[in-house]
Amino acid sequence: MVKQIEVGTERISLERPVVMGILNVTPDSFYDGGRYTSESQIINRIHEIVEQGAGIIDVGAYSTRSGAAFVDEQEELSRLSFAVELVRKYYPRVPVSIDTFRANVAREICRCLGDVIVNDISGGTMDDKMFETVAGLNVPYILMHIQGTPQTMQIAPHYDDVVCEVRQFLKDRVERLNALGFDKIILDQGFGFGKTLEHNYRLLAHMEEFLDLGYPLLVGISRKTMIWKLLEVTPQEALNGTTVLNTISLLKGAHILRVHDVREAVEAVRIVEAMRSVGKD
């Protein structure tokens, strides 16, 4: 299992789980859309993420919630560049991840602003240039499973065996990347992306079965439908459920938690790690 991620000259240890704080610079994300669109709002959010203990900032400029509005490539690139520049200005040593499925956007951000982690919700299925691009850039790549596209994924998701099929998808895509001589891979089961409530909880229950693929696991469950629909609350009321599922994910071997609420996730990591350290005595 990979023990660290290298992003440019920075190294992120995975000896203990890392929290990735979400910075959505979109007007329409499902939970925090429109909160961080001005320069002052973005700066305040960057400070908040870092001061609460996140090890990575994940910047998203194109909402991939079901039914989200189309954003053209130039607009996405402009939004991402603006936010990433601000992170670099205030915290030049904090690793940045960009949430994009477009190879050209990844290439341009790295060319202009330096190495970043590329967080691709499509696992290379929405841009056939993505794999060769990240291999050429040699930057960490988050490979996520999705069934369909953000526009179609929740219409009628179907699997004969969701755990086997998602695992096989990731395995096959890893092999394609490895064939390009690329190995800087992080895996994401894709909670909420073309899955029913039952599919999501089945994947969570069997998370350990993904560890033997040999790459770190990222879990992005924060305030998602699988929490608030089950509990019959709103995304704004789903923090407690998020913390519960993040804790379960840590106990099952998650290496990175992608979250809106950094402080609570950092506390969950501290508690689980304290329990593990005592258990080793």
The CATH number of residue 50's host domain is 3.20.20.20
Total domains in the fold of the chain: 1
In a domain, 280, yes or no: no
Which of 224, 229, 263, 276 is catalytic? The answer is 224
In a domain, 71, yes or no: yes
Where in the sequence is the domain holding 184, given as residue range(s)?
16-274
In a domain, 3, yes or no: no
In a domain, 9, yes or no: no
pLDDT value for 35? 66
Tens-level pLDDT at each residue, the chain (281 residues): 778 999 999 999 999 999 999 999 987 555 455 567 788 999 999 999 999 999 999 999 887 666 666 788 999 999 999 999 999 999 999 999 999 999 999 999 999 999 999 999 999 999 999 999 999 999 999 999 998 777 667 777 889 999 999 999 999 999 999 999 999 999 999 999 999 999 999 999 999 999 999 999 999 999 999 999 999 999 999 999 999 999 999 999 999 999 999 999 999 999 999 999 996 66
In a domain, 5, yes or no: no
Which of 258, 263, 270, 276 is catalytic? The answer is 258
Distances (CA, A) of 84 to 2, 45, 107, 113, 139: 26, 12, 14, 8, 16
Q: Could you tell me the pTM of the whole model?
A: 0.94
Long-range Cβ contacts of 194-197 (<8 Å, 24+ apart): 194/145, 194/146, 194/147, 194/148, 194/153, 194/154, 194/157, 195/147, 195/157, 195/162, 195/226, 196/157, 197/225, 197/226, 197/229, 197/230
d(CA 108, CA 99): 14
258 in catalytic set: yes
In a domain, 10, yes or no: no
Strands (E), the chain: 4-7, 10-13, 18-24, 56-60, 96-99, 117-120, 141-144, 185-188, 217-219, 256-259
pLDDT value for 10? 94
263 in catalytic set: no
pLDDT value for 2? 78
In a domain, 281, yes or no: no
Q: Nearest-CA neighbor of 120 among 95, 101, 104, 147?
A: 101
